[in-house]
């Protein structure tokens, strides 16, 4: 599905996922390392936030936890999920600006993430927002949602 058509169907709380293959840059190499250590088909996950007629991603990336326009991050996979409660949204927004940690990516493989240390990686952040019962790797988050009834839709630019 094309993003312009899908945009109005993306709701606050939906989970978004990305996959990336090939190594053409330093960033690609870092993503490859994350995939290696997390044994993950998906390289990144975030949570949709629909507000004021716009759709944003609540996500943890190398620069930290941020809010970013979803339209600038196509293509991606959309997993319609549960709406966020006010408490969950407040939790998610309260983490904006906190640090990203590559060490947390490695810890996710061993299911040893610490959601109280103010250092995040993407799947740990999504898992904490939604209180998911899975390891904090992008693939584990996606697979957990799929096994719980979510449907994966590919969204193109």
Predicted TM-score (pTM) of this structure:
0.91
User: So what's the pLDDT on residue 120?
Assistant: 96
Helix boundaries (H) for 10-136: 26-38, 86-94, 102-109, 122-130
Out of 69-78, 87-96, 105-114, 130-139, least confident range: 105-114
What CATH number is given for 3-147 in this structure? 3.90.1720.10
For residue range 1-55, list pLDDT tens digits in order.
999 999 999 999 999 999 876 778 887 787 777 677 666 779 899 999 999 999 9
Burial class (CB in 10 A: 0-12, 13-18, 19+), 121: buried
**Of 84 and 29, the one with more pLDDT:** 84
Three-state secondary structure call for residue 103: helix
CB 109 within 8 A of CB 39: yes
Tokens for 70? 């979803």
pLDDT in tens, 112-145: 888 889 999 999 999 999 999 999 999 999 999 9
Q: Where are the domains of the chain?
A: 3-147
């Amino acid at each position: 599905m094309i993003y312009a058509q899908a945009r109005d169907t993306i709701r606050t709380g939906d989970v978004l996922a990305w996959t990336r293959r090939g190594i053409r840059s330093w960033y690609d190499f870092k993503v490859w390392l994350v995939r290696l250590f997390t044994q993950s088909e998906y390289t990144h996950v975030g949570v949709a936030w629909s507000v004021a007629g716009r759709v944003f991603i609540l996500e943890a990336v190398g620069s930290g936890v941020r809010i970013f326009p979803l339209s600038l991050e196509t293509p991606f996979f959309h997993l319609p999920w549960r709406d966020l409660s006010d408490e969950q949204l407040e939790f998610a927004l309260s983490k904006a600006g906190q640090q990203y940690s590559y060490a947390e990516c490695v810890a996710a493989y061993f299911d040893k993430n610490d959601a109280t240390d103010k250092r995040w990686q993407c799947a740990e952040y999504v898992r904490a927002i939604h209180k998911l019962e899975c390891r904090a790797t992008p693939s584990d988050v996606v697979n957990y949602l799929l096994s719980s009834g979510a449907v994966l839709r590919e969204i193109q630019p």
